[in-house]
Amino acid sequence: MSLKRKDLLGIQDMSVEEITLVLETAESFKEVSGRDIKKVPTLRGKTVVNLFFEPSTRTRTSFELAAKRLSADVINFAVSASSVSKGETLLDTARNIEAMQADFIVLRHPMAGAPNILAKLLRASIVNAGDGGHEHPTQALLDLYTLREKKREFKGLRLAIVGDIAHSRVARSNIYALTKLGAEVRVIGPPTMMPLEVERLGVKVFYDLDEGLRGVDVIMMLRLQLERQGIALFPSIREYSRLYCLTPERVKLAAPDALVMHPGPINRGVEIAPEVADSVSSVILDQVTNGVAVRMAVLYLLSGGK
């Protein structure tokens, strides 16, 4: 069984069966990552190009490790050093990469929908590694994997996603995924960071953190995108932190065995207190470990979908 698709562009159009297939396949790859020899010959001779138009360390490294553990060859296309700064369009860049017989292009781009355009025009499999404020499907899949590992069931699981919901592709992909799987999703953040009519995605909106956290099984924190704070969404970081920082006292409002997640990189003391980030309920580093296994699963499953 394969994902019957060439590309992974978003969670929105994935079925529950497809999501489950990725998660189950990732279990085998987690075992591979736990070995002394962390490499299998599965994608020998295939080429994966990481094409990143936005800075990223974690996601790029994770994809790179995933590809290398499958024996694929990996090229990292660093945008600042590339011909993009000489005026080349995205499509021309991608066509040049494809002309070098790339089998996968892992794309991160500031514009929503950029991977969809490449997917339509290229033969290579396109994996969306984050497109603007749209989707970040592999992040959602690794979050799901981590949740499944710790909580077993999605049905009836109560989750709160906290932070800048409007600008977060992580939030969007997770909302699509978790509502499909039957979880109860709350979104918490200041009104200026709440997308219009977000309720239509099937979530409950809270503007007060303490109220929203009550009784939840999982707290998913989002990074406050400090680099975006030229846009005045709240008066000061201090005020944001006072109202929306996840402190140990606030964690106590959630269910006793609640998990704390964060896609990283974390801003200690801004959206999450250091004591919480380092506490036993935090699964932030599990998320990173699982990310490699999930991305291996995605590359493996897409390589059969042509």
Q: Which residues bind another protein (CB under 8 A)?
A: 1-2, 25, 27-29, 31-32, 35-37, 39-42, 297, 300-301, 303-305
Q: Measure the CA–CA gap between 1 and 250, rounded to whole angstroms.
A: 44
The minimum distance between CB 66 and another protein, in angstroms, equals: 13
- Please say which residue, 248 or 304, places its beta carbon nearer to another protein: 304
The minimum distance between CB 295 and another protein, in angstroms, equals: 14
The minimum distance between CB 94 and another protein, in angstroms, equals: 23
Segment holding 158, helix H or strand E = strand 158-162
The minimum distance between CB 43 and another protein, in angstroms, equals: 8
Segment holding 204, helix H or strand E = strand 204-206
Segment holding 276, helix H or strand E = helix 274-277
Please give the full DSSP string across 38-79, using - where no structure is assigned.
Answer: ---STTTT-EEEEEESS--SHHHHHHHHHHHHTT-EEEEEES
- Please say which residue, 125 or 168, places its beta carbon nearer to another protein: 125
Give the residue among 9, 191, 190 at the shortest CA–CA distance from 105. Answer: 9
The minimum distance between CB 70 and another protein, in angstroms, equals: 8
- Please say which residue, 31 or 278, places its beta carbon nearer to another protein: 31
Q: Measure the CA–CA gap between 218 and 185, rounded to whole angstroms.
A: 10
Give the residue among 306, 264, 255 at the shortest CA–CA distance from 283. Answer: 264
Residue 211 contacts by C-beta under 8 Å, 6 or more apart in sequence?
Answer: none
Q: How does DSSP classify residue 149? A: H
- Please say which residue, 42 or 76, places its beta carbon nearer to another protein: 42
- Please say which residue, 39 or 228, places its beta carbon nearer to another protein: 39
Q: Are 31 and 289 in contact (CB under 8 A)?
A: no
- Please say which residue, 20 or 247, places its beta carbon nearer to another protein: 20
Q: Are 243 and 190 in contact (CB under 8 A)?
A: yes
Q: Measure the CA–CA gap between 271 and 70, rounded to whole angstroms.
A: 36
The minimum distance between CB 28 and another protein, in angstroms, equals: 5
- Please say which residue, 31 or 211, places its beta carbon nearer to another protein: 31
The minimum distance between CB 17 and another protein, in angstroms, equals: 12
